[in-house]
Amino acid sequence: MKFALFANERKPNAVEVRTDLARYLRELGATVAVEMCDGAEELSAPKVQKSVHGCDFVVSIGGDGSILHLVHRLGIPHPPIIGVNLGTLGFLADVAVQDIFGSFNAIYHKAYKVSERLVLDGFMQDTFINFAINEVTIHRGNHPHIVDIAMHVDGSFVNTFSADGLLVATPSGSTAYSLSAGGPIITPETKAIVVTPICPHTITNRPIIFLPKQSISIELFHGADAVDVIFDGMPPIKLARGERVELKVNHEPFRLVSLTTSDYYATLRTKLGWTGSLRSSR
């Protein structure tokens, strides 16, 4: 097995964890082809893409945000990603740093699974602009008032939302910003896209779930000269009044590694602080 290791140098101890992991993987008999800091401004996308060529796995050491940042440099498609979580709240980084050696020992001995998750591609005037693993956010930005955003699906008008914005999320992103905005939790294996209004003026505006084969078109209708279109928290792209951004599911997935012992519902209970317990029916 050949690994590429990327540590988010902005995270405490990330570089030290990368060094220890590289040593351990070599002791197992694996090849560590790349050891880099993901966070350095000079670490360009072409350099990252070239460096991981021929690797079986790419390891992101940091958290969910570190994974998103790295994948936006890797591009789609990419080798399967293994996330090492140095933080607290996270759904993509499956390996806890406290059990890093045991987890990678399991991965080296093939006790893992690869989840293929939906990716959203964005287009303006038929030109590709970016992709999203979690969500595309259309937001009023610095404009002080709500804006009117019109949405079409497969060419059919759905609604004009008076709101702070709209979130278009994948199942991976359903537990991120969309959840905070009142959107539903969608299990990663589900093939669906959810659109969630952000602070809508009309309380009857609710999240809507669409099939991945459907094309979602969003237009700034009224209320500002332009709004921000943000892919996974990357730098915003301006959408001017009258312009449209079209969102479609990429035919290539985001590939994420998890341990065979991982339990998605246990992760939900832990990360979201759910306190319900299994009770006897007696």
Active-site residue set: 64
Helix (H, G, I), strand (E, B) or coil at 16: helix
Q: Which residues are CB-neighbours of 66 under 8 A, at least 6 positions away?
A: 6, 8, 11, 38, 60, 83, 93
Containing 55, the helix (H) or strand (E) segment is none
Q: What tokens does 39 get?
A: 């966070």
Q: Which residues are CB-neighbours of 279 under 8 A, at least 6 positions away?
A: none
249 to each of 29, 40, 129, 130, 165, how far by Cα in Å? 38, 30, 14, 12, 21
Residue 122: closest CA among 133, 109, 107:
133
- Which residue matches tokens 């999240």? 207
